[in-house]
Structure 1
Amino acid sequence: MQYSCKTLSLTLGAVALSFAASSASADTVKLGYHGLNYKVIQTRVDTDPGAGTNFVRADTGMFNMSVQTPDAGGIFKSGQTVLAWCVEVTQSVSEGIVYNIATTGQSWTKSITRLFDKYYDQVKNSITSAAMQLAIWEIVGGDANLKLSDGNFQAKTSYDSDPKNNTDSNKAYTLAQKWLDELNDGDVARKWDVVHLTNGKAQDLVTVVQISEVPLPGAALMFLSALGVGGLARRKRAAKPELALAA
């Protein structure tokens, strides 16, 4: 069965936001899909990059996944819950997908890491979960100005004519934009390593694992750095298990 971060039937074909991951390592993990972790927040997002003309309905929030086959590097354990968010708005997510664990940093790695370091602790309900998803889509597929209202990725402040839907959608939109506006303000403590999961036929995901409590050099804290999976696996053995993101 196919699942999607959109309620549209996803005949979106080759609409490309070009989030191709470079996966130098062949390390993989197989994940099961168990729906969104919180109540669905319905939003409208644009799948026509830069044009703002093809808005579709999207079920927005954090995926609840589980590890069916762990990776050889030991980042994920069998049966572990993985909380993740969608990277590609034009793809769907399926049950039992094998993901490559990308080991080369993307242009958005630093900003996504900072987003989680600053705001992941606030993700405790459907509104904050949806806000995190919108912010991720903007960072990965949008422009340097990080505005949901324009650029290569766009979202609507409202969903439809239902006041309840509009209220929730607007709250998520407003919070996501606030986080984006404040993303680069001040210093932030390093708490999370970003994990980028890719599959050519399914939605790419992003999740995080908690870093070791032992202070490490900044470069050593980055999952998607030149240190690759080997360095991460060593750190993860001392980390608190089980958390990640995506939608």
Structure 2
Amino acid sequence: MKTKNFMPIAALIGSLMASQSALAGAILTAYAGSADFGGISAGYLNGSVAPNPNSETNLVGVAIGGDSFTTRNLDYAFSSTGQFNAWCVDIYHWMIGGSVTYNVATGSDLASVLDGLRPGALSGATRVDQLTRLANNVYSGVDTRLESAAFQLAIWKIAYGTPDNGIYQIDTTDRGFRVNQGTMDSDFGKLANTWLLDLDTAPFSGTGSWTLSYLNDGTSNRTQDIIVFTDPPAGVPEPASFALVGLGLGVLGFVRRKRA
């Protein structure tokens, strides 16, 4: 949902999309257009969805796809190159251009927000787990406009939609999140449905071990909240692994000194 206009639906939504308590820090970013895959901007595809910033029930045309951001803050794993792709997880605000300071929060914080926006048997924690599962299944292969739009559409469906017998489907009837017929029948709508159908099956080949970061602009709510997926580079130990390696080397050194 990319536009420079901002139109909140209700104060309740604003309070729910506000910053959470367990924040890891903040990052100043600049919106840089559509998702960038290897220096190539993918662009967006057009569709119609509801809810949206203009209406809780009426379909509104939106641009669908991932977003690119630049930053001088290289402290986070996802921002280490000065550029990162992100995905809108907020259907109640428009994305604005220019610079925005985001709070960097966790999947647990996002789960709390989704619990408020979509209360019911399906918890926010379950939805966040499913978002990560989607990334583990397909994200390593997302690098075209079609795939970018399909991935964004699937994220919205998981975050806000109502599963039927445990299965999410892009359709025209779900009041939690629905699309028009053209969006459902589009190539990216069909691809999103394929991914959603396979959400609980064994991961595809070539997947990663993705972690989710939740970025929001706090109580100002000037722009959409977004999520970022980070995949640890192959062969790079996690911090806990570094600690174990250090402990092992320390014990080895002690044994050598004792033998000497």
User: What residue number does 2:9 align with?
Assistant: 13
- 1:213 aligned to 2:229? no
- Which residue number corresponds to residue 224 of structure 1? none
* 1:34–1:63 contact (8 Å) kept in structure 2: yes
Q: Flag the structure with larger Rg.
A: 2
- C-alpha change, 1:199 and 1:98, in structure 2 (3 Å) is same
Residue 49 (structure 2) pairs with residue 45 (structure 1): yes
CA contact 2:52–2:92 (8 Å) conserved in 1: no
Matched, 1:96 2:99: yes
CA contact under 8 A between 2:28 and 2:72: conserved in structure 1? yes
1: CA distance, partners of 2:225 / 2:233:
26
- Which structure 2 residues correspond to residues 30-41 of structure 1 after superposition, within 5 A? 30-37=28-35, 38-41=42-45
Structure 1 residue aligned with 2:200: 184
CA RMSD of aligned residues (A): 3.2
- Whole-angstrom distance in 1 between the partners of 2:4 and 2:30: 22
Counterparts of 1:47-196 in structure 2, within 5 Å, are 47=51, 53-71=57-75, 74-77=76-79, 80-94=82-96, 95-103=98-106, 105=108, 106=111, 107=125, 108-145=127-164, 146-149=168-171, 150-158=174-182, 170-187=186-203, 190-196=208-214
How many correspondences in the alignment?
Answer: 206
Tell me how far apart the structure 1 counterparts of residues 99 and 81 of structure 2 sit (CA, whole Å): 13
Structure 2: 5+ residue runs without aligned partners?
36-41, 112-124, 244-260
TM superposition shift of 1:23: 4.0
Q: Deviations over 1:85-119 (max 9, x none)?
A: 11111212232111111135222221111111111
Inter-partner Cα distance in structure 2 for 1:39 and 1:11: 24
How far off its partner does 1:39 sit? 2.3
**TM-score (normalised: structure 2):** 0.68
Give the match's secondary structure for 1:29.
strand
AA in 2 matched with 1:109: V
TM norm structure 1: 0.71
Distance 1:109 1:148 in 2: 18
Retained in 1: the 8 A contact 2:140–2:208?
no
1:31 is matched by which residue type in structure 2?
Answer: T
Amino acid at match of 2:179: A
> Which one has a larger percent helix, Structure 1 or Structure 2?
2
- Distance in 2 separating the partners of 1:19 and 1:114: 23
Match for residue 23 of structure 2 among 22, 25, 36: 25
Q: Contact 1:88 / 1:203 at 8 angstroms: preserved in 2?
A: yes
Q: Structure 1 residues 48 and 81, CA, compared in 2 at 3 Å: closer, same or farther?
A: closer
Query: What amino acid is aligned across from residue 169 of structure 2 in structure 1?
Result: K
Any gaps of 5 or more consecutive residues in structure 1?
160-165, 221-230, 236-247
Question: Residue 11 of structure 1 aligns to which amino acid in structure 2?
Answer: M
Aligned-residue offset at 1:129? 0.4
What's the secondary structure of 1:158's corresponding residue? helix
